[in-house]
């Protein structure tokens, strides 16, 4: 029998608290305090389960009894219109195995740890050149527009074979696709525009291949142009918007905590520091949706076959039993010396972020270089940082800095 | 300690290589997990347990062969 949780249903997506831009919305923290699995109300009048506990989130994301297939009629959506858009052109992120594995394995070779390690000199050059441009003849800049967004956009353009000159076009469409306030018609248009663009690009790569991911996808005879374009959209959107927001949010957070920022001067501390920033910020802040394929006992509750569930990464990443400990600051605070490697910021299970080695390398190089080259970096007086709250990816619209 | 990998479950996240590069590798041909070592020193045991816990596909299994001598 399904037990009835006593906690009130949380409306998704819930707002953050004013004055606490780096903390998860209070409604999620309260739900986590009430139990690892509670209820949530979705926009559009439906409801689903909300998993906030670390163990429960891990189970939902890695157990084959929970599906990521958006074509399931009960799949939970935070924006009701997204069902039509995503279900018609699902990338492998939105499919279960074996369809998922077939498509994912076509691009795993490009994100091998050794491949990414070999890209470090390129990433360092891209970071250095972005900082050169940002600081040349100036004493003030928007860190989002002049550093956080260009760096990962240049890297993913290089890998995919997308012309960087087209950045304004794909950056704007990406933001539209990731916004949870976009109108349905605008979402459909954005999806079509980006699909047409990537299909056209892939077709040109088929005729004149280069050394990039789109060319390799274009050369396959077991992949349609539309499938290649769907994979291309996933890699392009996920490849720049997430890392850009991690760079800008991390910078804003570290400027407020200079004793923590100082840890980045130690090269040996940088990888661990980035894991802690990933844990603390958890930018996939509206959680990951799944639907149960069988009845599953979880966190004292029975989730029935066909019921939707949102796995909330941000609360799982603040589990004090995993990330606390007497030697460290409380889990709600940033502690760059904490062992945060068990975080779920990249998700878990077979859908865990394919680009995570690349994201780690970009974040390590970008943040360490930024704070090393600009030791006087600070917020521009009189300019408030502007956070991006209406997106599935938490982030920043602008961050005015001086040095 | 014994370590086994199930390549059918590997999703090429690279978590094992990132955390324990001296033991795990990703195959150049199929991107799936490969073991670089078959015997392990006690000072590697904690890292190997972590690699098994962090593997998103559940592809890594660690078997403690002498529980009485294993810490924790």
- pLDDT category at A249 given cuts 50, 70, 90 is very high
pLDDT attached to residue A232: 95
Per-residue burial over A261-300, b if 16 or more Cβ lie within 10 Å, else e, is bebbeeeebbbbbbbbbbbbbbbbbbbbbbbbbeebebbe
The answer to whether residue A28 is domain-embedded is yes
For residue B53, the distance in angstroms to the closest alpha carbon of chain A comes to 8
Rounded to a whole number, what is the distance in angstroms from the first to the last CA of chain A? 61
B15 interaction partners in chain A (CB closer than 8 Å): 352, 356
B28 interaction partners in chain A (CB closer than 8 Å): 109, 112
For residue A68, the distance in angstroms to the closest alpha carbon of chain B comes to 15
Q: Percent of chain A beyond pLDDT 70?
A: 99
The answer to whether residue A2 is domain-embedded is no
- B2-67 CATH choice from 1.20.120.610, 3.50.50.60, 3.30.70.20, 3.40.250.10: 3.30.70.20
Query: A103-119, pLDDT tens digit by residue?
Result: 999 999 999 999 999 99
The ipTM (two decimal places) reads 0.91
- Rg, Å, chain B Cα set: 12
Per-residue burial over A368-380, b if 16 or more Cβ lie within 10 Å, else e, is bbbbeebeebebb
B54 interaction partners in chain A (CB closer than 8 Å): 341-342
pLDDT attached to residue A216: 96
Query: A128-147, pLDDT tens digit by residue?
Result: 999 999 999 999 999 999 99
Question: What residue numbers bound the domain in which A121 lies?
Answer: 10-402
DSSP secondary structure code for residue A304 in this structure: P
CATH of the domain at A187: 1.10.630.10
Q: How many domains does chain A have?
A: 1
The answer to whether residue A4 is domain-embedded is no
- pLDDT category at A1 given cuts 50, 70, 90 is very low
Query: A365-388, pLDDT tens digit by residue?
Result: 999 999 999 999 999 999 999 999
SS3 A81: coil
Q: Percent of chain A beyond pLDDT 90?
A: 89
pTM here is 0.95
For residue A153, the distance in angstroms to the closest alpha carbon of chain B comes to 21
The rounded distance, in Å, linking the Cα atoms of A366 and A388 is 21
Query: A259-283, pLDDT tens digit by residue?
Result: 999 999 999 999 999 999 999 999 9
The structural domains of chain B, with segments of one domain joined by +, span 2-67
pLDDT attached to residue B66: 67
**Whether the predicted pLDDT of B70 surpasses 60:** no
Taking all residues of chain B, what is their mean pLDDT, rounded to a whole number? 92
To the nearest 10 degrees (0 to 180), the angle between helices A225-255 and A184-207 is 110
Taking all residues of chain A, what is their mean pLDDT, rounded to a whole number? 94
Taking CB atoms and an 8 Å limit, are B18 and A360 in contact across chains?
yes
**Whether the predicted pLDDT of B22 surpasses 80:** yes
């Amino acid at each position: 029998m399904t037990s009835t949780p006593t906690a009130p249903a949380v409306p998704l997506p819930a707002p953050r608290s004013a004055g606490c831009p780096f903390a998860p919305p209070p409604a999620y923290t309260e739900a986590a305090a009430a139990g690892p699995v509670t209820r949530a109300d979705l926009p559009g009048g439906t409801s689903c389960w909300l998993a906030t506990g670390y163990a429960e989130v891990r189970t939902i994301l890695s157990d084959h009894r929970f599906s990521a297939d958006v074509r399931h009629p009960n799949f939970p959506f935070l924006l009701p219109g997204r069902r039509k858009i995503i279900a018609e052109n699902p990338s492998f992120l939105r499919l279960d195995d074996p369809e998922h594995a077939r498509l994912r394995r076509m691009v795993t070779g490009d994100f091998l740890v050794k491949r990414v390690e070999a890209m470090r000199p390129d990433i360092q050059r891209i970071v250095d050149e972005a900082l050169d441009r940002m600081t040349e003849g100036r004493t003030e800049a928007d860190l989002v527009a002049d550093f956080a967004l260009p760096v990962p956009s240049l890297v993913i353009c290089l890998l995919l074979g997308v012309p960087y000159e087209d950045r304004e076009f794909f950056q704007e469409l990406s933001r539209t696709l990731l916004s949870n306030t976009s109108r349905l018609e605008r979402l459909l248009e954005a999806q079509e525009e980006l699909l047409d663009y990537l299909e056209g690009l892939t077709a040109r790569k088929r005729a004149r291949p280069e050394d990039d991911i789109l060319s390799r996808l274009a050369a396959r005879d077991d992949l349609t142009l539309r499938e290649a374009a769907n994979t291309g959209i996933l890699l392009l959107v996920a490849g720049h918007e997430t890392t850009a927001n991690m760079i800008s949010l991390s910078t804003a957070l570290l400027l407020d905590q200079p004793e923590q920022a100082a840890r980045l001067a130690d090269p040996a501390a940088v990888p661990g520091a980035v894991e802690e920033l990933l844990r603390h910020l958890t930018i996939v802040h509206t959680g990951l949706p799944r639907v149960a394929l069988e009845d599953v006992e979880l966190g004292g509750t029975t989730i029935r076959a066909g019921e939707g569930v949102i796995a909330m990464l941000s609360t799982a990443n603040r589990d004090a039993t995993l990330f606390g400990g007497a030697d460290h600051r409380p889990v709600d605070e940033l502690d760059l010396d904490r062992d945060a490697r068990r975080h779920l910021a990249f998700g878990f299970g077979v859908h865990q972020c394919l680009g995570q080695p690349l994201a780690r390398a970009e974040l390590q190089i970008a943040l360490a270089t930024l704070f090393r080259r600009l030791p006087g970096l600070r917020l521009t007086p009189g300019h408030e940082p502007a956070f991006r709250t209406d997106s599935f990816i938490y982030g920043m619209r602008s961050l005015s800095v001086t040095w | 300690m014994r370590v086994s990998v199930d390549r059918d479950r590997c999703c090429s996240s690279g978590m094992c290589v990132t955390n324990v590069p001296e033991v795990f590798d990703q195959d150049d041909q199929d991107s799936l997990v490969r073991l670089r070592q078959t015997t392990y020193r006690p000072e590697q045991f904690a890292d190997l347990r972590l690699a098994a816990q962090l593997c998103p596909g559940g592809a890594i299994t660690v078997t403690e062969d002498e529980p009485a001598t294993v810490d924790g």
